Chain A
Amino acid sequence: MIVKITIDGQAINAREGDTIVDVAAQNGVYIPTLCYTKGKPCLGTCRTCSVNVDGRVMAACTIPVREGMEIDVNGAEITDMRKALVELLFSEGNHNCPSCEKSGRCELQATGYEVDMMVSRFPYRFTPRVVDHASKTIWLERDRCIFCQRCVEFVRDKETDQKIFSIKGRGTQASIEIDVDLANKMSANQVCEASDLCPVGCIIDKTQGFDVPIGKRKFEVKTIRERALEGTHR
């Protein structure tokens, strides 16, 4: 069924049940996302896609469109709120882009550019975190984890469907954990997929380093905004 909604005042016909983030992209309106993966169940963990729906702030990847919805994506207040969310992620982890293997293909970094972040308004925390290198094929760089839970939900053991990644603890004590035995059973392809799925440089394939020259890296060839508007998002 087709419903009528407005995005930033523009009247739009959309298929009922499609999420706001998809409908917006189909109509040329970019909404930044981090945890959202098109075609997979929504996680709603990062809140980077927050928009104003009929006066309430909601995560656009979690909300299906309904008749008469009035959505504010690019208003000054909500735009700044999304920027603040991205800045919080940069303050909370230790995101040292110059020394990160994921730089240039990092969704957090690319999203930082799209929300015009120059600096975080929040104090940088510099929390010490331990790198887990026990797995044969994966570096787990905990400094960079944004707790999006993509790996937790979507990377599973092929035989048993058991989760390979998990989050231990809550709040400031939370840390991403890896099941080393299951991780060691992962095929080279699956490791590569898991590393690609990670929106930051937390899951690093030990066999992959700085292999693409600056200027030719993923989001330099095509920005995350262009990818989102094409409907791939990644």
Chain B
Amino acid sequence: MNEETVIFSHELPATPWNPEKQDIEDAKIQVAMIGFCGCWGCHLSFLDMDEELLGLLEKVTITRSSFTDLKRIPHHCTIGFIEGGIANDENIEVLEHYRENCDILISVGACAVWGGTPAMRNVVPLEECFREAYIDSPTAVPGAKKTIPYHNDIPKITTKVMPCHEVVKMDYFIPGCPPDGQAIFKVLNDLVNGSEVDLPADVNRYD
């Protein structure tokens, strides 16, 4: 495709918000969210805050996230909610973009904190992983040409799945697979109210 004809979704015309509503949202604490190599379970756990979410959304507004379907961080944010480990070069680029555009980054869930389930491939050489997935896969289409996908437009897989803090500085960690909605609420609520972030032993979970 000719480069000049490429149009990104965030460049498409969109209906602007009601300006009064926009002013209210702009005055709140800005939170951007992203899921890297994870299962979006931590995002679901975020919704699991149930009615606590209503109180929280009085004080924060969610900018870029899969909930809002915004594909870009629109302006500098206070909090970045990071789910998932780092498994390809696009993850690295986007995580660095989050670091540059958020004051505070939180690793949410086992994958972001230490690699989690995707990191189970760390004990197997990458070539063997590709071989299992694309060449010797039991679910490969019979008769199809066996190929390991490789193209400039496809993100390159990293040799190992890395925790987020091995790529950029992360400020807070919420372990769990996924963390309980209450654990996410505790940390966000502490941050929003300016109190010291603390995840007590009875809320902290690794599974």
Contact = CB atoms under 8 A, between A and B. Distances in A.
B11 interface: no
A121 B65 CA distance: 29
Contacts, number: 70
B80 interface: no
Interface string A84-106: 00000010001111111001100
Given A96-B120, A128-B124, A112 B115 contact: no
Interface string A106-137: 00010011101011100110111100000000
B104 interface: no
A100 B110 CA distance: 13
Given A118-B175, A119-B163, A124-B163, A109 B206 contact: yes
A123 B117 CA distance: 17
Nearest to A125: B122
Interface residues of A, number: 27
B199 A99 contact: no
A74 interface: no
Given A98-B117, A126-B123, A116 B160 contact: no
Contact of B117 (A95, A96, A113): A96
Interface string B176-197: 0100000000000000000000
B202 A97 contact: no
B175 A119 contact: yes
A120 B115 CA distance: 12
A166 interface: no
B175 A99 contact: no
Nearest to A127: B123
Given A113-B201, A118-B199, A119-B107, A99 B117 contact: yes
B67 to A, nearest CB: 24
Most buried by B among A97, A99, A103, A116: A97
Contacts of A100: 207
A14 B124 CA distance: 53
B173 interface: yes
A37 interface: no
Contacts of B165: 119
Most buried by B among A103, A114, A126, A225: A126
A100 B207 CA distance: 9
A116 B204 contact: yes
A225 B204 CA distance: 14
A118 B204 contact: yes
B174 interface: yes
Contacts of A223: 201-202
B207 A113 contact: no
B166 interface: yes
B81 interface: no
B206 A120 contact: no
A119 B115 CA distance: 11
B119 interface: yes
A98 B113 CA distance: 13
Contacts of A94: 123
Given A90-B114, A126-B119, 13 more contacts: A95-B206, A96-B119, A103-B207, A113-B202, A113-B205, A114-B201, A116-B204, A118-B174, A120-B114, A126-B122, A126-B160, A128-B123, A128-B124
14 contacts: A94-B123, A96-B120, A97-B207, A98-B110, A98-B207, A113-B204, A113-B206, A114-B201, A118-B199, A119-B173, A124-B119, A223-B201, A223-B202, A225-B201
Interface of B: 107, 110, 113-117, 119-120, 122-124, 160, 163, 165-166, 172-175, 177, 199, 201-202, 204-207
Interface of A: 90, 94-100, 103-104, 109, 112-114, 116, 118-120, 123-124, 126-129, 214, 223, 225
